[in-house]
């Protein structure tokens, strides 16, 4: 905790990732919630920019988009970012990506050129960029796969994690249910597999329902192992979460997965979210695949 009256530590978010993955949307969402934002900053200016943020008394929270549109990005950015952190700046990298088919559809819909596909098909530019950005992706503090978000959901995610305008708890907890058949969420910090619980999908009357329905909840809770698992998971998180707070983590995504993401994971995510909400943290529960 900073001393009373002390100037808060300067913080900078670097938004980068694949072209078409939503970087402009994210930077606009950050600007709407109080961040000083710069889009497409030349890599050579990162060092003086971060220095200005660190010395300013007014600009304590800044976000910038840097990406492959800038020719020197791949060579200059890693060193500039490491230097900024070495000077004591609280700097984080948010890397946005999306599935190939989603990126291709977005470029076809907007008719915008891909920066690396000047004399070749868009798909080749997408693949070339993904490969070139692998070292930058490894630097990321947070990776967001925007394939699973619509515009409104992505804005909401950014508001929940980075809003400067409201008084928030020291840690935002996101509890996310998902189906393994659709992939593990890239933003997950902790992943819990609940496929060992009884599956309502094999009960004809319960199959069309979801884990929000009381009949499904009763079916899953009927087994004693459900209550045991929830109790042990609550105990584990009660031990773990305060240690994330102590390390300065501002958000934590807890993912709960079952086969299809409609029944067991939804029920358990709701139970875990309700238990965490009784504490001092802000808790958001989201069901990624419940409508699949």
Residue 60 reports pLDDT greater than 90: no
Phi-psi region of 204 (alpha: psi -120 to 50; beta: other; left: phi over 0): alpha
Please give the residue that has the higher pLDDT: either 280 or 46.
46
Residue 166 has pLDDT above 60, yes or no: no
pLDDT at 164 over 80: no
More confident residue, 192 or 109: 192
Mean pLDDT of the region 125-137: 94
Contact 44, 72 (CB under 8 A): yes
| Domain 11-162 CATH assignment equals 3.30.420.40 | no
Band (5; pLDDT cuts 50, 70, 90): very low
Higher-confidence residue: 1 or 238? 238
Task: Give the start-to-end residue ranges of the domains of the chain.
Answer: 11-162, 172-287
Q: Could you give the CA distance from residue 26 to residue 24 in angstroms, rounded to a whole number?
A: 5
pTM of the model as a whole: 0.64
What are the pLDDT digits (tens) for 190-247?
999 999 999 999 999 999 999 999 999 999 999 899 999 999 999 999 999 988 877 7
User: With 70 as the cut, is the pLDDT of residue 100 above it?
Assistant: yes
- Please tell me which of 80-94, 117-131, 180-194 the model is most confident about, judged by mean pLDDT: 180-194
The mean pLDDT value for 160-189 works out to 83
220-236 pLDDT, tens digit per residue, is: 999 899 999 999 999 99
- With bands split at pLDDT 50, 70 and 90, how would you rate the model's confidence at 95? very high
**The CA-based dihedral angle spanning residues 226, 228, 234, 237, taken in that order and rounded to the nearest 10 degrees:** -100
Average pLDDT over residues 130-144: 94
Task: Give yes or no for residue 179 having a pLDDT over 50.
Answer: yes
Provide mean pLDDT across the span 75-103: 91
Between 157 and 264, residue with greater pLDDT: 264
Determine phi and psi for 248, rounding to 5 degrees: 90, 10
Q: What is the pLDDT of residue 169?
A: 56
Q: What angle do CA 31, 33, 35 make, to 5 degrees?
A: 50
pLDDT band at 127 (very low <50, low <70, confident <90, very high): very high
Pair type for strands 190-193 and 282-287? unpaired
| Mean pLDDT of the 172-179 span | 93
Instruction: Give the chain's mean pLDDT.
Output: 88
The reported pLDDT for the residue numbered 167 is 47
pLDDT of residue 141 exceeding 50: yes
Distance, CA of 59 to CA of 39 (rounded, Å): 16
Q: How would you classify residue 274: left for phi > 0, otherwise alpha for psi between -120 and 50, otherwise beta?
A: alpha
Query: Band of the pLDDT at 2, cuts 50, 70, 90?
Result: very low
pLDDT at 20: 92
Q: pLDDT tens across 7-35, in order?
A: 557 889 999 999 999 999 999 999 988 89
């Amino acid at each position: 905790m900073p001393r009373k009256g002390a100037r808060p530590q300067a913080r900078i978010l670097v938004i980068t990732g694949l072209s078409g993955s939503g970087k402009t949307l994210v930077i606009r969402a950050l600007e709407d919630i109080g961040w000083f934002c710069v889009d497409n900053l030349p890599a050579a200016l990162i060092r003086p920019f971060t220095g200005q943020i660190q010395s300013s008394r007014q600009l304590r929270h800044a976000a910038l988009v840097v990406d492959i549109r800038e020719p020197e990005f791949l060579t200059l950015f890693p060193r500039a970012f490491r230097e900024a952190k070495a000077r004591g700046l609280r700097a984080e990298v948010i890397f946005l990506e999306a599935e190939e088919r989603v990126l291709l559809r977005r470029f076809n819909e907007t008719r915008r050129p891909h920066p690396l596909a000047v004399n070749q098909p868009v798909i080749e530019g997408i693949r070339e960029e993904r490969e070139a950005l692998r070292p930058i992706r490894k630097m990321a503090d947070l990776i967001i796969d925007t394939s699973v978000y619509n515009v409104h959901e992505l804005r909401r995610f950014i508001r929940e994690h980075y809003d400067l305008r409201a008084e928030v708890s020291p840690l935002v907890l996101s509890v996310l249910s998902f189906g393994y058949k659709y992939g593990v969420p890239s933003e997950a910090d902790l992943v819990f597999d609940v496929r060992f619980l009884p599956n309502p999908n094999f009960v004809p009357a319960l199959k069309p329902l979801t884990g929000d329905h009381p009949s499904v909840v009763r079916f899953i809770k009927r087994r004693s192992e459900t209550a045991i698992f929830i109790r042990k998971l609550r105990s584990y998180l009660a031990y773990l979460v305060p240690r994330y707070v102590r390390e300065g983590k501002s958000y934590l995504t807890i993912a709960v997965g079952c086969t299809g993401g409609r029944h067991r994971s939804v029920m358990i995510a709701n139970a875990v979210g309700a238990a965490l909400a009784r504490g001092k943290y802000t808790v958001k529960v989201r069901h990624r695949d419940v409508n699949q």
